[in-house]
Amino acid sequence: MVGEAYGAWLVVEKRGKKYFCICTSCNKTTRFLPGYNLSSGRSRMCKSCSTRAKREARGRSDSPEYKTWVHMNQRCHNPKNKDYENYGGRGITVFPLWRTSFEAFYMMLGQRPHIDDTIERIDYNKGYVPGNVKWASRQEQVLNKSDNVVLEIDGVTKTVSQWAEESPVSGFTIYKRIKRGWLEKYGSHRTVFEPSSRAEVEPQQGVATNSEEDSSG
């Protein structure tokens, strides 16, 4: 049990017949708990955090945060869900406490900062666990995904984010250009790094074009 998490309780050490634990929801409260209380789920976090979680989550069953919680659990743990193959099917799971408690999920993440924000995993190879999730805008999520896209140029392999450090355009722009098929369309890796609008859109007579940096799409 030592070193393992049971709900929000992290077991630090065993002392006699009980376990010394710290509540990771507040990182303040410590308790000596019987092993059965931990393994059975009888105790999932300290009383203060439990009370606060229930208070903050009360009346939010129709909220965007609640819907996010439901969809997160469904795509990770329901084999019949249409997105299961890309989540639960490849080992992405939800933190045990969050699976059974919306209150705990809401307490740890809080309300969405912006109406368009969605939940994001910082490391896409890990699950929905404390420290690996946050509310993020669509653009932030695309930038995070670009960290996992590898591009080889002249025998040198780097992620898109790494190439962007040497480019006059952002990693977001490079990623979008690759997704739009620029590598196949123009036949040159260097094209995706061009700062001008020259390669942005194939020119049409009498039609002005704007660079992707300034466009809304």
Short-list 181, 168, 182, 148, CA closest to 213: 168
Across the chain, mean pLDDT equals 76
Q: Could you report the per-residue pLDDT of 75-117, keeping only the tens digit for each?
A: 999 999 998 998 999 899 998 888 888 888 887 777 787 887 8
Mean pLDDT of 23-35: 87
Distance CA 180, CA 201 (A): 11
Specify the pTM: 0.51
Supply the Cα-derived Rg of the chain in whole angstroms: 23
Split at pLDDT 50, 70, 90, the class of 19 is very high
Structure tokens at 200: 């942005």
8: helix, strand or coil:
coil
Render 118-170 in DSSP notation, one character per residue: EEEESSTTS-B-TTSEEEE-HHHHHHHHHTT-EEEETTEEEEHHHHHTTSSS-
Q: pLDDT value at position 140? A: 67
201 against 178, higher pLDDT? 178
N-to-C CA span, the chain: 51
The confidence score (pLDDT) of residue 72 equals 95
* Domain spans of the chain, in order of start: 5-45, 58-136, 147-217
Q: What percent of the chain has pLDDT over 70?
A: 72
Alpha-carbon distance of 134 to 24, in angstroms, equals 16
